[in-house]
Structure 1
Amino acid sequence: MSNSNVETVSSTVDRVKMGLAVLVIVAGIVAYSMLEGQPTLLRAGVFVGSLVIAAVIAWFSEPGRRTLSFGRDSYNEVKRVVWPTRKETTQMTGIVFVFVIAMGLLLWVVDKVLEWVIYGLLLGWN
């Protein structure tokens, strides 16, 4: 069996698994809607159960394993982030507010100058 054929079979099987996972989620949504007269806990349980079953089906596919690996790597990366202290966060927020106010004032001044030039000098409207 050639390598290309193995990839096609694996890819086709993965597509079927992902399609089945989507169908399970759709079935959960439909079941939630059809159980309208039942207690909310039962309806939510059926929907959450469909999500869990879909996740298990997807996990056994190559894209599912890659997604799980990506999630693990992302979580490990977040643990390595150096978060700013409360003081640093407050200072940076203050700097942003001051900058926004300064830019607002600058744009207001530029607008008024352009208004004066266009209407006052060029068009002669006072």
Structure 2
Amino acid sequence: MADNIKLIVAVVLMMAAIALFYTYSEYSTLLRVLGLLATAGISLFIASKTAIGSTVLSYIGDTNVEVRKVVWPTRQETLQTTLVVILMVIMVALMLWGIDSLLGWGVRALTL
């Protein structure tokens, strides 16, 4: 029950901040954006103190760990792979053009 109240407070706070952002359009955009960002931070902090929020934070942390494990290709590997893909696309395009030409010739021969 307490988690639900925290989430409702966070959502209401964020909705109020968005409404105030558009209501006070005569004020500086910089001040309105800073207020919106501060309110978003407070809302996220409140939401992170719930069970769902802690699960989301745990997921984000696990995702960062997995991203650090990724072995990114070198520049040379990327260039070689890109060239292979381009060559394969050209080869398949030529094959499809040849088949299309052959079928077009066959249809013209049958319809004349």
Shared fold, TM over 0.5: yes
Counterpart Cα distance in 1 of 2:100 and 2:47: 57
Please give the TM-score of this superposition, normalised by the length of structure 1.
0.79
Q: Which residue of 2 aligns with 1:73?
A: 62
- Residues 28 and 47 in structure 1, CA contact (< 8 A), matched pair in contact too: yes
Residues 1:88 and 2:77 are matched in the alignment? yes
Identity of aligned residues (%): 35
Any residues of structure 2 matched to 1:43-54 within 5 Å, and which? Answer: 43-54=32-43
Distance in 1, Cα, partners of 2:52 & 2:60: 12
Does structure 2 conserve the Cα–Cα contact (< 8 Å) formed by 1:18 and 1:58?
yes
Q: 1:19 to 1:117 in 2, by over 3 A?
A: farther
User: TM-score scaled to structure 2, two decimals?
Assistant: 0.88
1:36 aligns with 2:25: yes
Distance 1:122 1:21, change over 3 A: farther
Amino acid at match of 1:107: L
Instruction: Specify the alignment match of 1:110 in structure 2.
Output: 99
Structure with the larger RCO, 1 or 2 (CA within 8 Å, 6+ apart): 2
Residue 37 (structure 1) shift? 1.0
Structure 1: 5+ residue runs without aligned partners? 1-11
**Unaligned segments of structure 2, at least 5 residues:** none
